[in-house]
Amino acid sequence: MNEEQKKIQEVVSREYELGFSVDIEEETAPPGLNEDIIRFLSKKKGEPEWMTNMRIQAFHIWQKMEEPRWAHLKYDVIDYQSISYYAAPKKKPKSLDEVDPEILRAYEKLGIPLEEQKALAGVAVDAVFDSVSIGTTFKEKLKEMGIIFCSISEAIKEYPELIQKYMFSVVPMSDNFFAALNSAVFTDGTFVYVPKGVRCPLELSTYFRINAQNTGQFERTLIIADEGSYVSYNEGCSAPMRDENQLHAAVVELIALKDAEIKYSTIQNWYPGDEEGRGGIYNFVTKRGVCAGENSKISWTQVETGSAITWKYPSCVLKGDNSVGEFYSVAITTKAQQADTGTKMIHIGKNTSSTIISKGISAMRGQNSYRGLVKIQASAQNARNYSECDSLLIGDKCGAHTFPYLESKNASAQIEHEATTSKISDEQLFYLRQRGINEEDAVSMIVHGFCKEVLANLPMEFAAEAKDLLNLTLEGSVG
Amino acid sequence: MMLEIKDLRAKIGEKEIIKGLNLNLEKGKVHAIMGPNGAGKSTLSKTIVGHYEVEVTGGDILFKGESIVDMEPEERALKGIFMSFQNPVEVPGVTNAYFLRTAVNAKREYEGKEPLNAAEFLRMAREYAKLLGMKPEMLNRSLNVGFSGGEKKRNEILQMLMLDPDLIILDEIDSGLDIDALKAVSEGINKIKSPEKTFLIITHYSRILEYVKPDYIHILKDGKVVKTGGYELVKKLEAEGYKAIEEEQ
Ligand SMILES: Nc1ncnc2c1ncn2[C@@H]1O[C@H](COP(=O)(O)OP(=O)(O)O)[C@@H](O)[C@H]1O
Ligand SMILES: [Mg+2]
C-alpha cells in the first residue's frame, strides 16, 4: 500500500469507530424545560444571579416564539420537553492528568489526541466533552500576552464585564427560536478575548462531541478581537452513532473592533444518521460576526459534512467603514442528509466589501440548499459583493437548490453573482480511470478540485483533516 | 504478441459497430490504423481500454496473453495500456501536476515501486514538458481546462511519457495540429519507442506516419480490418483512396 491508500484505508476503517460511545457516569437533569431546570443548570454551574436572570428572560422569550419552518428541510417535530438540558461528567478535573481515561481514549479514537495536540505546532485545545470543559492547554502562555481563552462558564465568573458587554450583542436572545433556546439553556462553550494590537500566535481550536444520549447540545461561543488584533479560531466536531435524533443549537458571536481580524474555521462532522437519516444530529446554528470598527475583517470558512439536518448561516454585519466579510463554504449531503446553509452579508458602513464562495456537493439522496442574503443599506456607499455558488451532483437522486436574496438600498453598490451546477461526468471519471486512478480516488480528486478555493482557506492542520473527511463522507456514493 | 483481438464484436447502445474484428499487435512494432469516418476506429480503441459506452458481445481481447474484456478500466491501465483521447475532458480545480503525480504513483504502487516524491516527479515532468515544447506553467493549470487543441494533445503525450505504458493507442493524436505541434508530438512518441512497446496509431493523414514510421498499416472498414500491409499502403491510399482498396478485396 502506498501512503495515499494507507490514508484512505485509515479513514475508511474510522467510519464505524466514530459511532461508539463512552461509558462514563453522567449527572443529568431530568428531561424537560422549565424555569426550575434552568435554575438547576445555572446553579450547577455556579453562575452569578445576573446570568440566571438572563437565562430566565431568554426562556420567556423562547416560549413565545415558534419554530421556523421556512428552510428547505423536512424533519419530524422536535419534542423539546423530552430533551435533557444538562449533562456533565461528575468531577471536574483540574488538569489533563485527572481527565477520565475513557474520555481521552475517545478523543484518541476520533483522531484528536489531546496529548499530541499539545505538542502539535501552534495548536491550543479547549476540549468540550458534553457540556463541561475538561481540559485547556496553552492557556498560561496565551495569558502572558493578555489573551483570554477559556470556557464560557469560566468567563462568566472571571470576566463578567466583558460578558455583560458583548454576550447577546451580536445575536440577541430574541434573534430566532434556536438562539433564544440556546440563550436560556447554553451549557458551555468557548470564550476568546484578544487585547488591543495583539496577534494571537496560535490557532485556537475546540473540539466538540456529543456523548450523553438524548442530551441537547447548546454551545455558546464568544470571540472578541480588540482594536488591531488578530485571531484564528478552529472549531471541529464529530459525533457517535445514535438511534434518536439529537438536537444541537449553538450560538457563535464574533466581534471585530477597529483594524481587527477574526478568522473562524469549522469542520462539522456530526453523525449524519443511517441511509434513512435515522439517528442523525439536527444542527440548528446561529453564527454571526460584527465588524464593529473600521477596516475590520471577519472570515468564515466551513466544511459541513455531517448532521442529518443542517440549518446554518454564518453571517457578517459590516458596520465599520472599509470592513470586510468573507464566507467560504463546502457543504456535502449524502445518504438522506439535508442541508440548508449559506450566509448573510449586511453592509452598513462605507466601502464595505464581502465575498461569498459556496460549494455544495450532493450525493445519493442528499439535498443541499444554498441560501444567501446580501443586504446593502442606504448608508453603505460604494459597497461591493461577489458571490459564487457552485453545486456538484453525484448521481441523479440528489438535489441542489440555490436561493440568493439581494436587497440594495444604495445605487453605488457593485454586486456580482455567479452560480453553476455541474455533475461529475462519466467521461471525467473514465479519463482518470484510464490513467490508472481507481474510481473512488477519481471521485475524490474531482470533488477536491471542485472545493479547492474553500479548502485553501483552511488552516494547514485543518485542511488535511477536511480532505480525509470529504473522502470518508463520499465513500460508496458512486458506482 | 502484445495484443490479440479475436473475432471481436462490440456495440454502443443498440448498434453493433465492431463486427468480427481480428487484429494482432506485435511487441516492439508500430501499427497504424486508417479508415473512413465512422468505420469504428475510435470504438475499437474504446473497447480495448474498457470504455463505459461499449459493450463487448463476442470474441476476446488478450493483452500479453491475458483476456482483458472483463477488467475494470483502471486495471487495464495499470497493466500498461494507454489511450490518448480525441477530446480530453476538463477537470476544474485539479492541477495537471497533481493529476499526473497521482496517476504515476498509482502505477508505481501497482508495480511494487516506491512512490515518486514531489521533487523527483517535478524534475521528470518538466523535462518531458520541455521536450514537448510545453511551458512549465502548464503543469500548474487545471487539467485540460482552457487548453488549446494543440496543448491538449501535447498534454496527452506528456501523460504517455510519464506513465511509460507498454501498449500505446493514439486516437487521432495528429488531428488539428500545426506542424510544430505535430513535430513535438512525434518526438514524444519516438522518445519511448522501444522493442518492449507497441503503438497503435489511428490517423487520417500520412503526415504523422512520416515522422513515426509504422511497421504495419491496417485498413478498418465497417467494423472489420479489411486489409493489412506495410508502409506502401499509405502511398496507395493517398493516390487511390479507400474506394480502390475496397474494390481490391
Ligand atoms: N456514443 C455513440 N452512440 C451512438 N453511436 C455511436 C457512438 N459513438 C460512435 N457511434 C457510431 O459508431 C460508428 C463508429 O464510430 P467511431 O468508432 O467513432 O468511428 P471512427 O473513429 O472510425 O470515425 C459511427 O457510425 C458512429 O456514429
Ligand atoms: Mg474516431
Contact between chains at A435 and B89 (C-beta distance less than 8 A): no
B103 vs A: CB within 8 A? yes
Q: What angle do CA A189, A239, A329 make, to 5 degrees?
A: 75
Q: How far is A257 from chain B (nearest CA, A)?
A: 36
Position A70 confidence tier, pLDDT thresholds 50, 70, 90? confident
Q: What angle do CA A367, A372, A374 make, to 5 degrees?
A: 170
Residue A281 has pLDDT above 70, yes or no: yes
Cα radius of gyration (chain B): 18
* DSSP H helices in A246-335: none
Residue A416 has pLDDT above 90, yes or no: yes
Q: Compare all CA atoms of chain B with the CA of A444 and give the residue at the minimum distance.
A: B94
Contact between chains at B163 and A441 (C-beta distance less than 8 A): no
Residue A23 has pLDDT above 90, yes or no: no
Q: Residues near A195 by Cβ (< 8 Å), separated by ≥ 6? A: A145, A146, A147, A226, A229
Lowest mean pLDDT among A131-140, B59-68, B129-138, B151-160: A131-140
Position A16 confidence tier, pLDDT thresholds 50, 70, 90? very low
Domains of chain B: 3-248 (3.40.50.300)
Q: Could you report the per-residue pLDDT of A221-257, keeping only the tens digit for each?
A: 999 999 999 999 988 755 544 545 578 889 999 999 9
pLDDT of residue B130: 94
Mutate which of B17, B47, B51, B225 for ligand 1 pocket (most atoms within 8 A of beta carbon): B17
Q: Which of B73, B72, B102 has its CA nearest to residue B85?
A: B73
Q: What grid cell was written down for A4?
A: 495515499
pLDDT of residue A397: 83
- Report, as an integer, the average pLDDT of A55-70: 90
pLDDT of residue B234: 86
Residue A5 has pLDDT above 60, yes or no: no
- Confirm or reject: Cβ of B182 under 6 Å from ligand 1: no
Q: Could you report the per-residue pLDDT of B178-215, keeping only the tens digit for each?
A: 899 999 999 999 999 999 999 999 998 888 888 888 99
Contact between chains at B74 and A439 (C-beta distance less than 8 A): yes
Neighbouring-strand partners of residue A387: A356, A417
DSSP A19: G
- Report, as an integer, the average pLDDT of A181-195: 91
Answer whether A161's CB lies under 8 Å from A169's CB: no
Q: What is the mean pLDDT of chain B?
A: 93
The beta-carbon neighbor of A434 closest among B49, B91, B94 is: B49
Question: From the CA of B37, how far away is ligand 2's center (Å)?
Answer: 7
Contact between chains at A1 and B89 (C-beta distance less than 8 A): no
C-alpha to C-alpha distance for B24 and B3, rounded to whole angstroms: 6
pLDDT of residue A214: 37
- Report, as an integer, the average pLDDT of A80-96: 63
C-alpha to C-alpha distance for A222 and A153, rounded to whole angstroms: 11
Position A99 confidence tier, pLDDT thresholds 50, 70, 90? low
C-alpha to C-alpha distance for B57 and B55, rounded to whole angstroms: 6
A326: three-class secondary structure by DSSP: strand
Residue B2 has pLDDT above 90, yes or no: yes
- Report, as an integer, the average pLDDT of A70-92: 70
pLDDT of residue A105: 57
Contact between chains at B93 and A448 (C-beta distance less than 8 A): yes
Q: How far is B64 from chain A (nearest CA, A)?
A: 18
Q: Which residues of A touch B159 (CB under 8 A)?
A: 435
pLDDT of residue A209: 39
C-alpha to C-alpha distance for A344 and A374, rounded to whole angstroms: 6
Q: Which of A458, A436, A434 has its CA nearest to residue A448?
A: A458
- Confirm or reject: Cβ of B143 under 6 Å from ligand 1: no
Residue B15 has pLDDT above 70, yes or no: yes
Residue A210 has pLDDT above 50, yes or no: no
Amino acid at A23: D
- Confirm or reject: Cβ of B43 under 6 Å from ligand 1: yes
Q: What grid cell was written down for B96?
A: 495537471
Answer whether B199's CB lies under 8 Å from B30's CB: yes
- Report, as an integer, the average pLDDT of A141-170: 91
Return the H-helix or E-strand segment holding A114: helix A114-119
Contact between chains at A432 and B99 (C-beta distance less than 8 A): yes
> Which range among A100-109, A166-175, A400-409, B169-178 has the greatest average pLDDT?
A166-175
Q: Which residues of B touch A427 (CB under 8 A)?
A: 89
Which residues of A lie closer than 8 Å to B, measured between beta carbons? Answer: 1-5, 425-428, 430-439, 441, 445-446, 448-453
Q: Which of B105, B107, B87 has its CA nearest to residue B156?
A: B87
Q: What grid cell was written down for A302?
A: 466551513
Lowest mean pLDDT among A266-270, A389-393, A460-464: A460-464
pLDDT of residue A267: 83
Residue where the block lists cell 483512396: B241
Q: What is the DSSP string of chain B?
A: --EEEEEEEEEETTEEEEEEEEEEE-TT-EEEEE--TTSSHHHHHHHHHT-TTEEEEEEEEEETTEE-TTS-HHHHHHHTEEEE-SSPPPEEEEEHHHHHHHHHHHHHHHTTPPPPPHHHHHHHHHHHHHHTT--GGGGGSEETTT--HHHHHHHHHHHHHHH--SEEEEESTTTT--HHHHHHHHHHHHHH--TT-EEEEE-S-SHHHHHS--SEEEEEETTEEEEEE-THHHHHHHHHHHHHHHHH-
Q: How many CA atoms lie within 13 A of B111 on its CB side?
A: 18
pLDDT of residue B237: 82
Environment class of A190 (CB within 10 Å of its CB; exposed 0-12, middle 13-18, buried 19+): buried
Q: How far is A395 from chain B (nearest CA, A)?
A: 16
Contact between chains at B102 and A441 (C-beta distance less than 8 A): yes
> Which range among A131-140, A418-427, B106-115 has the greatest average pLDDT?
B106-115
Lowest mean pLDDT among A335-344, B94-103, B145-154: A335-344
The pTM of the full predicted model, rounded to 2 decimals, is: 0.80
Lowest mean pLDDT among A394-403, A447-456, B199-208: A394-403
Which protein residue's CA is at the shortest distance from atom 16 of ligand 1?
A: B40
- Confirm or reject: Cβ of B87 under 6 Å from ligand 1: no
Residue A131 has pLDDT above 60, yes or no: no
Q: Which of A18, A450, A13, A10 has its CA nearest to residue A272?
A: A18
C-alpha to C-alpha distance for A100 and A93, rounded to whole angstroms: 8
Lowest mean pLDDT among A3-17, A309-323, B15-29, B230-244: A3-17
Lowest mean pLDDT among A160-174, A262-276, A315-329: A262-276
pLDDT of residue A394: 86
Q: How many CA atoms lie within 13 A of A203 on its CB side?
A: 22
pLDDT of residue A425: 86
Which protein residue's CA is at the shortest distance from atom 2 of ligand 1?
A: B12
Q: What grid cell was written down for A143?
A: 495569558
Q: Residues near A396 by Cβ (< 8 Å), separated by ≥ 6? A: none
A133: three-class secondary structure by DSSP: strand
